């Protein structure tokens, strides 16, 4: 029986032994630490926040710290800046092992199974060296005013070295900066003075704003109070007026009811009531006006008590300036309106004058054209007449000249006799020799005309006397003398002949 159970017991013991061995090799890594299990394979197994099995005697387990580590970085002495000022800086760097595959491999080679202080000590020298290099490129004022930029530069430069170690720099912050000569304190005092100055100015401006706001609030409160009192006075006045109107209606109705039986009395009573009501209305209006004046006086008194003298003067000046501005604007608008009206009237007058001148010019042009045409027609007619006259004179020769002279004889006789018409009174003295003064005076005109004809004969060679005698009977019958060129039956010819005959007879 025992022999039959022995194989099963052995199998159970083996299973229990295997389970015990496996249980003794069970490991579970926390999240801030990596377990590296190596021994059987070329690439170790990395457990981060996971559980695994380490085969005893065949594999080993190593630990790598993954949590964030703070490293105190100090310059350990005064390091000169770019402007040659020695500074002592204390900074804190936050680092941790990189969790990517390459970072884990690098960190395993450098920090496997190391504690936090050991890791800090291993990294401090490299971080201090990088910080000293960055200090030499910065100025003191830049270090004091922009610490973040300095920390970022240290982090950026040191990260190059840390990448080769499998370390990631999370942040680098400056904790303290000291200098050899106390310049940082001096800069702080200067900035403090500037800040105090700005604070004093801001406080003064704030006090001024508060004072202005208080004054404005008091003014608005006063304005609201005055408006409320004015509104109350106006409402009271309206109430009094309504009471008076209601009383009028009441009195009128009462008078109508009481005087219904007597028409004459009713009319008289109505007249009395109307006059009474008018008097009451007038009194109510006077009372309302008095109340308004009292409200205005009270308002002025309140304004005088609340507002300062400077505010009142400024208000008065502002009102006067506004009134003057309004007045000037109105005057300017009135003047502009007058100028526009004058301009319109002038433009209308100019348009009318221009139209009249255009019409006149058109009339003058038409008249000138008509005159020119008339002158042209007259000239043409005169030219044709002169041309015909010239042809006639050319045709008739001496006869034409004779005709012209004969035409002028009446005018010549008239011109010679014209001086006699100007004589008002004539005194005739007879010499007694038989030649009377009257006969001498009567022969004045023929004698002058005869002398004129004789002068014409000497000048032109034309003897008018011979021409006239040629027309006599004796000349035509006895002497057979004829003169051609003088038209028969014309008035000028007959007149000329008669005048010439008279002159010949006188001769």
Kindly state whether residue 178 falls inside one of the protein's structural domains. Answer: yes
Average pLDDT over residues 59-78: 88
Domain boundary among 306, 330, 349: 306
Domain hosting residue 126, numbered range: 69-184
Average pLDDT over residues 105-113: 89
In terms of domains, do 79 and 178 share one?
yes
Closest of 172, 177, 150 to residue 162, by C-alpha: 172
> What total number of domains does the chain contain?
4
Question: Could you count the other beta carbons within 10 Å of the beta carbon of residue 368?
Answer: 10
Residue with tokens 């209308």: 348
Domain boundary among 39, 65, 91: 65
Residue 279 Cα distances to 18, 238, 256, 275, 276, angstroms: 132, 17, 20, 6, 5
Looking at the predicted structure, is the pLDDT value of residue 224 above 90? no
Looking at the predicted structure, is the pLDDT value of residue 95 above 90? yes
In whole angstroms, give the CA distance from residue 404 to residue 496.
Answer: 10
Instruction: Provide φ and ψ at 193, rounded to 5°.
Output: -65, -45
In whole angstroms, give the CA distance from residue 34 to residue 67.
Answer: 10
In whole angstroms, give the CA distance from residue 107 to residue 98.
Answer: 8
In terms of domains, do 56 and 101 share one?
no
Kindly state whether residue 445 falls inside one of the protein's structural domains. Answer: yes
Looking at the predicted structure, is the pLDDT value of residue 368 above 60? yes
Instruction: Provide φ and ψ at 58, rounded to 5°.
Output: -105, -25
Kindly state whether residue 364 falls inside one of the protein's structural domains. Answer: no
Higher pLDDT, 130 or 1: 130
Quote the DSSP letter at residue 46.
Answer: E
Looking at the predicted structure, is the pLDDT value of residue 324 above 70? yes
In terms of domains, do 61 and 108 share one?
no
Looking at the predicted structure, is the pLDDT value of residue 352 above 80? no
In whole angstroms, give the CA distance from residue 181 to residue 85.
Answer: 8
Residue 280 Cα distances to 247, 289, 431, angstroms: 10, 14, 128
The reported pLDDT for the residue numbered 406 is: 67
Higher pLDDT, 258 or 121: 121
In terms of domains, do 59 and 81 share one?
no
Read off the pLDDT band of 443 (50, 70, 90): low
The reported pLDDT for the residue numbered 283 is: 82
Residue with tokens 């004179």: 393
Q: For the chain, what percent of residues have pLDDT higher than 90?
A: 5
The reported pLDDT for the residue numbered 210 is: 83
Looking at the predicted structure, is the pLDDT value of residue 94 above 90? yes
In whole angstroms, give the CA distance from residue 58 to residue 21.
Answer: 12
Note whether 183 and 140 are within 8 A (CB).
yes
Average pLDDT over residues 171-177: 88
| pLDDT tens column, 130-159 | 888 888 888 888 888 888 888 888 888 899
pTM of the model: 0.35
Kindly state whether residue 333 falls inside one of the protein's structural domains. Answer: no
Kindly state whether residue 100 falls inside one of the protein's structural domains. Answer: yes
Q: For the chain, what percent of residues have pLDDT higher than 70?
A: 70
Note whether 111 and 64 are within 8 A (CB).
yes
Domain boundary among 158, 184, 210: 184
In terms of domains, do 234 and 295 share one?
yes
Higher pLDDT, 422 or 351: 351
Lowest pLDDT segment from 119-128, 165-174, 250-259, 397-406? 397-406
Q: Is the dihedral of CA 442, 446, 452, 457 positive or negative?
A: negative
Residue 189 Cα distances to 136, 177, 180, 193, angstroms: 25, 16, 17, 6
H or E, element range at 179: strand 167-179
Read off the pLDDT band of 448 (50, 70, 90): low
Token pair for 376: 């042209």
Token pair for 304: 């005088």
The reported pLDDT for the residue numbered 487 is: 44
Note whether 169 and 155 are within 8 A (CB).
yes
In terms of domains, do 59 and 86 share one?
no
The reported pLDDT for the residue numbered 206 is: 79
Token pair for 394: 């050319």
Kindly state whether residue 464 falls inside one of the protein's structural domains. Answer: yes
In terms of domains, do 40 and 81 share one?
no
Lowest pLDDT segment from 348-352, 376-380, 435-439? 435-439
DSSP-derived 3-state class of residue 147: helix
Looking at the predicted structure, is the pLDDT value of residue 114 above 80? yes
In terms of domains, do 401 and 497 share one?
yes
Residue 108 Cα distances to 26, 95, 364, angstroms: 22, 16, 125
In whole angstroms, give the CA distance from residue 440 to residue 272.
Answer: 122
Looking at the predicted structure, is the pLDDT value of residue 498 above 90? no
CATH of the domain at 106: 3.30.479.30
In terms of domains, do 55 and 80 share one?
no
In whole angstroms, give the CA distance from residue 166 to residue 111.
Answer: 9
Average pLDDT over residues 346-372: 76
Instruction: Provide φ and ψ at 60, rounded to 5°.
Output: -125, 155
In terms of domains, do 121 and 61 share one?
no
Q: Give the chain's mean pLDDT.
A: 76
In whole angstroms, give the CA distance from residue 376 to residue 366.
Answer: 15
The reported pLDDT for the residue numbered 375 is: 73
Looking at the predicted structure, is the pLDDT value of residue 475 above 60? no
Average pLDDT over residues 304-319: 74
Looking at the predicted structure, is the pLDDT value of residue 194 above 70? no
Give residues with Cβ within 8 angstroms of 233, minimum separation 6: 291, 292, 294, 295
DSSP-derived 3-state class of residue 177: strand
How big, in percent rounded to 5, are the helix, strand and coil portions of the chain? 70, 10, 20
Read off the pLDDT band of 223 (50, 70, 90): confident
Residue 476 Cα distances to 11, 25, 464, angstroms: 211, 198, 16
Give residues with Cβ within 8 angstroms of 80, minimum separation 6: 86, 87, 135, 136
In whole angstroms, give the CA distance from residue 86 to residue 183.
Answer: 10
Kindly state whether residue 205 falls inside one of the protein's structural domains. Answer: no
Which among 64-68, 208-212, 488-492 has the top mean pLDDT?
64-68
In terms of domains, do 245 and 150 share one?
no
In terms of domains, do 100 and 45 share one?
no
Kindly state whether residue 415 falls inside one of the protein's structural domains. Answer: yes
């Amino acid at each position: 029986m025992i022999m039959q159970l022995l194989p099963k017991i052995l199998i159970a013991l083996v299973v229990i032994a295997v389970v015990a061995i496996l249980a003794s090799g069970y490991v579970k890594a926390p999240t801030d630490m990596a377990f590296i299990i190596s021994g059987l394979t070329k690439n170790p197994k990395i457990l981060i926040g996971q559980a695994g099995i380490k085969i005893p005697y065949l594999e080993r387990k190593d630990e790598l710290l993954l949590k964030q580590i703070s490293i105190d970085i100090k310059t350990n002495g005064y390091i000169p800046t770019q402007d040659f000022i020695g500074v002592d800086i204390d900074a804190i760097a936050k680092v941790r092992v990189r969790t990517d595959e390459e970072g884990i491999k690098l960190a395993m080679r450098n920090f496997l199974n190391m504690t936090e202080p050991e890791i800090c000590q291993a990294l401090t020298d490299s971080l201090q060296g990088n910080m000293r290099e960055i200090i030499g490129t910065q100025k003191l004022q830049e270090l004091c005013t922009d610490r973040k930029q300095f920390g970022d530069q240290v982090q950026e430069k040191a990260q190059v070295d840390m990448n080769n170690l499998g370390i990631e720099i999370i942040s680098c912050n400056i904790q303290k900066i000291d200098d050899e000569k106390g310049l940082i304190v001096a800069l702080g005092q200067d900035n403090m003075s500037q800040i105090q100055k700005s604070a004093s100015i801001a406080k003064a401006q704030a006090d001024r704003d508060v004072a202005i706001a208080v004054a404005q609030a008091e003014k608005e409160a006063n304005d609201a109070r005055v408006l409320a009192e004015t509104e109350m006075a106006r409402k009271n006045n309206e109430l009094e007026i309504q009471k008076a109107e209601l009383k009028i209606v009441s009195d009128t109705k009462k008078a109508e009811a009481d005087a219904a039986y007597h028409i004459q009395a009713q009319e008289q009573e109505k007249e009395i009531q109307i006059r009474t009501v008018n008097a009451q209305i007038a009194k109510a209006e006077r009372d309302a006006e008095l109340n308004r004046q009292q409200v205005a006086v009270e308002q002025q008194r309140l304004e005088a008590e609340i507002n300062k003298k400077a505010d009142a003067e400024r208000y008065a000046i502002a009102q006067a300036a506004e009134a003057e501005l309004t007045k000037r604007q109105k005057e300017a608008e009135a003047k502009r309106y007058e100028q526009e009206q004058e301009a319109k009237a002038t433009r209308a007058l100019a348009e009318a004058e221009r139209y009249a001148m255009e019409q006149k010019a058109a009339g003058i042009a038409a008249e000138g054209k008509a005159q020119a045409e008339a002158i042209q027609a007259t000239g043409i007619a005169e030219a044709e007449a002169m041309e015909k006259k010239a042809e006639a004179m050319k045709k008739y020769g001496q006869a034409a000249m004779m005709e012209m002279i004969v035409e002028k004889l009446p005018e010549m006789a008239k011109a010679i006799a014209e001086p006699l018409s100007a004589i008002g009174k004539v005194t005739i003295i007879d010499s007694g020799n038989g030649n009377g003064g009257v006969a001498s005076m009567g022969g004045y005109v023929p004698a002058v005309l005869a002398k004129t004809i004789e002068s014409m004969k000497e000048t032109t060679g034309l003897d008018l006397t011979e021409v006239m005698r040629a027309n006599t009977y004796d000349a035509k019958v006895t002497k057979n003398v004829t003169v051609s060129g003088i038209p028969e039956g014309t008035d000028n010819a007959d007149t000329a002949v008669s005048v010439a005959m008279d002159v010949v007879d006188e001769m």
